[in-house]
Amino acid sequence: MKDTLIKVDNIKKSFKINKRANGLPGHIANLFVPKYEMRKAVDGINFEIKKGEAVGFIGSNGAGKSTTIKMLSGILYPDEGNIEIAGFIPYKQRKAYVSNIGVVFGQKSQLSWDLPIIDSYELLKHIYKIPYETYEKNLKQFTELLDMSSFIEQPVRQLSLGQRMRADIAASLLHSPNLVFFDEPTIGLDVVAKERIREFIRYINREKGITIIFTTHDMQDIEKTCSRLILIDKGKKLYDDSVNGLLEKYSTQRKLKVEFEVDYNIEPIENVVIENKENNKKVFSFSNQNVSIKSLISDLMGRYEIKDMSIEEMDIESVVRKIYEGGIKIS
Ligand SMILES: Nc1ncnc2c1ncn2[C@@H]1O[C@H](COP(=O)(O)OP(=O)(O)OP(=O)(O)O)[C@@H](O)[C@H]1O
Ligand SMILES: [Mg+2]
* 2 CA → ligand 2 middle, Å: 31
As a whole number of angstroms, the distance between CA 176 and CA 138 comes to: 8
**What confidence tens digit (pLDDT) does each residue in 286-299 have?**
888 888 889 999 99
CATH of domain 252-313: 3.30.70
Tell whether ligand 1 has an atom less than 6 A from the beta carbon of residue 74: no
Q: What is the DSSP string of 166-218?
A: HHHHHHHHTT--SEEEEESTTTT--HHHHHHHHHHHHHHHHTT--EEEEE-S-
pLDDT value of position 37: 87
pLDDT value of position 328: 60
* Atom from ligand 1 closest to the CA of residue 235: 14
Q: Atom 1 of ligand 1 has which residue's CA nearest to it?
A: 15
Q: Atom 26 of ligand 1 has which residue's CA nearest to it?
A: 61
* 65 CA → ligand 1 middle, Å: 8
Do 307 and 280 form a contact (C-beta atoms < 8 A)? yes
What is the pTM (predicted TM-score) of this model? 0.82
Q: Atom 18 of ligand 1 has which residue's CA nearest to it?
A: 64
What are the strands of the beta sheet with 179-183, ordered from one edge?
101-105, 179-183, 211-215, 54-58, 228-233, 236-242
pLDDT value of position 330: 56
As a whole number of angstroms, the distance between CA 16 and CA 161 comes to: 32
Residue 150: Cβ-neighbour burial (10 angstroms; 0-12, 13-18, 19+): exposed
As a whole number of angstroms, the distance between CA 102 and CA 107 comes to: 16
Please tell me whether residue 311 adopts helix, strand or coil conformation: strand
* Atom from ligand 1 closest to the CA of residue 69: 18
- The domain ranges of the chain are 4-12+43-248, 252-313
* 14 CA → ligand 1 middle, Å: 10
Task: List C-alpha distances in Å: 205 to 66, 109, 245, 312.
Answer: 21, 22, 20, 30
Do 316 and 324 form a contact (C-beta atoms < 8 A)? no
As a whole number of angstroms, the distance between CA 197 and CA 165 comes to: 9
Tell whether ligand 1 has an atom less than 6 A from the beta carbon of residue 59: yes
Report which bound ligand comes closest to the CA of 43: 1
As a whole number of angstroms, the distance between CA 141 and CA 133 comes to: 12
pLDDT value of position 302: 94
CATH of domain 4-12+43-248: 3.40.50.300
pLDDT tens digit at each of 331 positions of the chain: 569 999 999 999 999 988 766 677 767 766 777 778 899 999 999 999 999 999 999 988 899 999 999 999 999 999 999 999 999 999 999 989 999 999 999 999 999 999 999 999 999 999 999 999 999 999 999 999 999 999 999 999 999 999 999 999 999 999 999 999 999 999 999 999 999 999 999 999 999 999 999 999 888 899 899 999 999 989 999 889 898 887 777 767 788 999 999 999 999 999 999 999 988 999 999 888 888 889 999 999 999 999 999 987 666 777 777 777 766 655 4
Tell whether ligand 1 has an atom less than 6 A from the beta carbon of residue 61: yes
Q: DSSP class of residue 157?
A: G
pLDDT value of position 243: 86
pLDDT value of position 327: 61
**What confidence tens digit (pLDDT) does each residue in 170-193 have?**
999 999 999 999 999 999 999 999
* 66 CA → ligand 1 middle, Å: 7
Please tell me whether residue 127 adopts helix, strand or coil conformation: helix
Do 63 and 53 form a contact (C-beta atoms < 8 A)? no
State the angle between helix axes of 243-250 and 316-324 in degrees (0 to 180), rounded to the nearest 10. 70
